[in-house]
């Protein structure tokens, strides 16, 4: 199941054979005794002695019986050996444990019979080969199916179907289908676990079971409190939903993945390749779309992709959800399909007597009553081909709050409808439609494309005509929310502030879904697909995120708009944030609300400011990238220029490290708890300083810039010089006066250098570079500078004295603390004192 949220391809792993007995304990030095053979299965009982008239029986994928808390499967010969996809999902989770709907595992499984036992196996499709090649039998032998459980045949039906008691499959821990890790649990209690519901459908079966676990006493990685008794064990129960799905009898032709175009994938290793090595290859996940009229350039599909809108959805949002789903049709037209994507209400019994929202033949957009401010769009795919079989989209109720916060803080000054809260339903409906379109994209097979927001020229994001045709970001699959680059004087229609289906979405749908009937197999499609992908060379906004960038490309920011020029985009974004601040608290919050709501919006503003500063931070030590294949000319990785990096550091000095007084509006802060502004400022400053000083990958990249560009590079030494100048600007004056927020910033700077220089455990595995030597040199230079400064006030004097002592201890950490100096006579400038005794040394 692929997923994403405002989510991860689980690994298909093999598990140990659960039925194998443990070896007997060894004594002395002798050899371990052989394991005892499993006891012979008893003969089946008469059918009516096992499945009595009290049993509740359902037919479908296969016959299922519920009787006295037990679940029996009746497996005819046609089902035995048939491959099924089993997906285990946490339908309900304890409070504070991830989220309901999380996939625990999915794998291909089957039931096989040997004498009077049924063995429940996993089936791997990770290794493949052309069946006609000599290596094919060896490939099959290299991925032996693991046995998870063994069941005795309890009875035989009239048609010879084997009846087995499968209760423990759902009430005990079974291989990778256990929720233990997700719950941070130490074990499951089968005595407090039970099956709650079974539903059988023509092509799938669902079993729900409550499972109770003993939870670990401490969070993962946390040690128990010293000197305190261990707390009593706690319990946590989860409702697990197990879905068995019949894989299609006709395997859909797969399409090989190309990492220049974004798709979720299923993986395999091909041992039948003509290459002189094994080839790990991936198939994209996509729905099976076939044209009703294969000869038509534009045809309706034989079977459209349909989502049904949950009855629990508030009535006013249903039209917008439909709008959000069907927005994708413009992209599918480029692939030759008309009305390919549809959203419908739940059908009536007359319209579809078989309809059941738990039936995996139907994909549902579920509205979940939860305080979680999120949404996600998973899907279940056939591992043999990548065919998407089901894709439920989940909207949590509080996604409305998240949309309100983003819209208000990013473009509130640009839309008169956002001047007063709450937002009108017409606006909130459109915001929810945007969420649905994004999550629908995941359910169609598309992952995030964070590269997209940096591929448009910044000036185009304020151009009305460009926005009408291209939008402010080329795809809905980026985390680029609303166009905060626009300014009020631009006169942009608020309808153009939201993302929409863009040129990358159309390109990706065309690449992944256009039929290529002349190709006989996936490899035969590749020359044409390669030609389609190469349009990215001349059209930057059709590019996808670069593999292995690992945070090095400043064009792959999240929550960014206009990060082709993040400094200028953030300059414009901050102008709008200042306007947002002026809108508080007069935004029309209900008179019955407490100031907690005002505090919430103020924090949302801080969060937006911090995100935008992060986009600027990413420039330092960055490499611009374009993913290319070997025969495409030009570089893949290009170091950021010295000019851009120097501009970024100067921007941070001016807008973050120099106290942003506009954020500390006294009239607003007087309504909020003490420390609301100061603590947030220091946290933001520390976060950026840590990213610049402690990130050894950034240090290595800057050193690589110097190796590649020589004197034209922005070096690590330049970064350290720029930061020191920005953090200690006051030392340019012979008699500085340093205000409280700046004193805290300067202490934080020393704390971070101390961590980099003197705490090797914090940077285990770090590759040596110039950082330690250059940082020590910065401290020595700062120490010399401090020795020549006479503070203009007693608190600053104490602060500078403290800095000198701390620098000495960082450079020579084993030096003893200096003795307290004797009292000095008073002077006109104030009284010298030992730093630790001065209240000005406390965090201000």
Instruction: Give kind and range of the element (H or E) at residue 238.
Output: strand 234-246
In a domain, 619, yes or no: no
pLDDT digits (tens, 9 = 90+) for 742-775: 999 999 999 999 999 998 666 556 667 899 999 9
C-alpha distance from residue 656 to each of 406, 449, 606, 724, 727 (Å): 21, 29, 12, 14, 10
Residue range(s) defining the domain that contains residue 595: 305-452+471-511+569-607
In a domain, 374, yes or no: yes
Q: What is the pLDDT of residue 844?
A: 32
Question: C-alpha angle with apex 523: 520 to 528, nearest 5 degrees?
Answer: 90
Same domain assignment for residues 109 and 181: yes
Number of neighbours of residue 188 by Cβ within 10 angstroms: 21
Same domain assignment for residues 238 and 352: no
In a domain, 501, yes or no: yes
Q: Which two tokens stand for residue 219?
A: 């969070």
Same domain assignment for residues 658 and 580: no
Q: Which two tokens stand for residue 321?
A: 């959800």
Pairing between β-strand 265-270 and β-strand 127-128 as defined by DSSP bridges: parallel
What is residue 110's DSSP assignment? E
In a domain, 436, yes or no: yes
Residues of the chain below pLDDT 50:
1, 3-36, 276, 817-844
In a domain, 89, yes or no: yes
In a domain, 242, yes or no: yes
Same domain assignment for residues 170 and 100: yes
Same domain assignment for residues 651 and 767: yes
Question: Residue 407 maps to which CATH number?
Answer: 3.40.390
Alpha-helical runs (H) found in 584-675: 595-617, 642-652, 666-669
In a domain, 548, yes or no: no
Q: What is the pLDDT of residue 134?
A: 63
393, β-bridge pairs: 365
**Mapping DSSP to helix (H, G, I), strand (E, B) and coil, where does residue 396 land?**
strand
Residue that finishes a domain, picked among 546, 577, 607: 607
Same domain assignment for residues 242 and 321: no
Among positive and negative, which fits the CA dihedral 531, 534, 535, 538?
Answer: negative
pTM for the whole thing?
A: 0.86
Same domain assignment for residues 601 and 696: no
The closest of 642, 625, 490, 647 to 568, measured between CA atoms, is: 647
- Whether the ω angle into residue 585 lies within 30 degrees of 0, i.e. cis, is yes
In a domain, 270, yes or no: no
Convert 403-437 to b/e letters by CB count within 10 Å (16 or more is b). bbbbbbbbbbbbbeebeebebeeebbbbbbbbbbb
Same domain assignment for residues 642 and 591: no
Q: In what order do the strands lie in the sheet with 341-345?
A: 341-345, 305-309, 363-368, 393-396, 375-376
Give the Cα separation of 794 and 835 in Å (integer): 11
Pairing between β-strand 305-309 and β-strand 341-345 as defined by DSSP bridges: parallel
Q: What is the pLDDT of residue 591?
A: 63
Same domain assignment for residues 391 and 425: yes
Same domain assignment for residues 738 and 836: yes
Number of domains within the chain: 3
Same domain assignment for residues 750 and 695: yes
Same domain assignment for residues 649 and 785: yes
């Amino acid at each position: 199941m692929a997923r994403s949220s405002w989510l991860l391809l689980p690994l298909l792993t093999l598990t140990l054979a659960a039925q194998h007995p443990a070896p007997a304990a060894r004594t002395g030095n002798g050899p371990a005794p052989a394991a005892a053979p499993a006891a012979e299965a008893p003969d089946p009982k008469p059918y009516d002695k096992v499945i009595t008239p009290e049993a509740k029986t359902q037919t479908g994928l296969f016959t299922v019986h519920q009787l006295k808390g037990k679940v029996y499967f009746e497996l005819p010969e046609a089902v035995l050996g048939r491959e099924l996809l089993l997906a285990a999902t946490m339908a309900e989770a304890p409070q504070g444990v991830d989220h309901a709907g999380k996939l625990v595992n999915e794998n291909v499984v089957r039931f096989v019979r040997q004498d009077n036992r049924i063995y429940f196996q996993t089936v791997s499709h990770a290794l493949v080969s052309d069946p006609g090649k000599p290596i094919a039998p060896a490939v099959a032998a290299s991925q032996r199916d693991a046995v998870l459980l063994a069941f005795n045949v309890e009875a035989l039906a009239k048609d010879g179907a084997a009846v087995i008691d499968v209760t423990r499959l759902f009430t005990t821990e079974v291989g990778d289908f256990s929720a233990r890790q997700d719950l941070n649990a130490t074990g499951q209690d089968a005595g407090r676990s039970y099956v709650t519901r079974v539903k059988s459908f023509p092509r799938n079966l669902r079993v729900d079971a409550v499972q109770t676990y003993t939870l670990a006493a401490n969070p993962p990685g946390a040690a128990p409190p010293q000197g305190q008794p261990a707390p009593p064990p706690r319990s946590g129960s989860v409702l697990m939903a197990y879905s068995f799905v019949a894989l299609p009898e006709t395997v859909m032709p797969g399409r090989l993945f190309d990492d220049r175009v974004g798709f979720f994938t299923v993986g395999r290793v091909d041992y039948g390749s003509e290459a002189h090595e094994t080839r790990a290859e991936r198939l994209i996940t996509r729905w099976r779309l076939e044209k009703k009229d294969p000869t038509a350039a534009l045809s309706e599909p034989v079977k459209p992709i349909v989502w049904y809108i949950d009855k629990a959805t508030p009535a006013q949002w249903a039209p917008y959800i439909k709008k959000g789903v069907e927005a994708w049709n413009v992209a599918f037209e480029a692939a030759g399909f008309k009305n390919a994507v549809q959203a419908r209400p739940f059908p009536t019994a007359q319209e579809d007597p078989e309809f059941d929202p738990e039936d995996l033949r139907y994909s549902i957009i579920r509205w979940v009553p939860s305080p979680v401010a999120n949404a996600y769009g998973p899907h279940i795919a056939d591992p043999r081909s990548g065919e998407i079989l089901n894709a439920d989209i989940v909207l949590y109720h509080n996604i409305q709050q998240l949309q309100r916060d983003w819209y208000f803080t990013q473009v509130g000054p640009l839309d008169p409808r956002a001047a007063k809260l709450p937002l009108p339903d017409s606006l909130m409906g459109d915001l929810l439609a945007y969420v649905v379109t994004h999550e629908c994209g995941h359910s169609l097979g598309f992952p995030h494309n964070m590269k997209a927001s940096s591929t448009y020229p910044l000036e185009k994001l304020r151009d009305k005509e460009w926005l009408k045709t291209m939008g402010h970001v080329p795809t809905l699959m980026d985390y680029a929310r609303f166009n905060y680059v626009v300014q009020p004087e631009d006169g942009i229609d608020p309808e153009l502030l939201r993302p929409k289906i863009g040129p990358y979405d159309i390109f990706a749908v065309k690449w992944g879904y256009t039929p290529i009937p002349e190709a006989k197999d996936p490899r035969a499609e590749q020359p044409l697909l390669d030609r389609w992908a190469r349009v990215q060379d001349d059209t930057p906004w059709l590019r996808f995120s670069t593999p292995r960038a690992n945070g090095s490309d400043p064009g792959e920011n999240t929550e960014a708009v206009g990060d082709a020029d993040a400094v200028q985009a953030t300059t414009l974004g901050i102008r709008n944030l200042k306007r947002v601040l002026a809108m508080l608290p007069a935004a029309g919050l209900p008179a019955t609300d407490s100031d907690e709501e005002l505090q919430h919006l103020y924090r949302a503003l801080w969060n937006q400011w911090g995100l935008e500063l992060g986009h600027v931070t990413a420039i330092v030590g960055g490499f611009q990238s374009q993913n290319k294949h070997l025969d495409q000319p030009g570089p893949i990785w290009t170091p950021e220029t010295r000019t851009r990096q120097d501009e970024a550091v100067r921007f941070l000095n001016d807008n973050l490290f120099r106290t942003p007084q506009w954020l500390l509006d006294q009239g607003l802060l007087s309504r909020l708890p003490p420390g609301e502004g100061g603590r947030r400022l220091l946290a933001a400053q520390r976060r950026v300083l840590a990213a610049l000083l402690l990130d050894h990958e950034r240090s290595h990249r800057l050193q690589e810039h110097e190796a590649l560009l020589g004197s034209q590079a922005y070096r690590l030494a330049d970064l350290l010089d720029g930061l020191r100048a920005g953090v200690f600007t006051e030392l340019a004056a012979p008699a500085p006066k340093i205000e409280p927020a700046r004193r805290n910033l300067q202490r934080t700077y020393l704390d971070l250098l101390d961590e980099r220089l003197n705490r090797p455990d914090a940077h285990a595995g770090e590759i040596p570079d110039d950082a330690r030597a250059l940082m020590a040199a910065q401290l020595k230079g700062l120490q010399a500078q401090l020795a020549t400064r006479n503070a203009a006030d007693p608190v600053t004097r104490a602060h500078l004295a403290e800095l000198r002592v701390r620098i000495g201890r960082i450079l020579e950490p084993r030096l003893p603390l200096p003795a307290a100096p004797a009292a000095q006579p008073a002077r006109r400038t104030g009284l010298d004192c030992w730093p630790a005794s001065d209240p000005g040394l406390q965090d201000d």
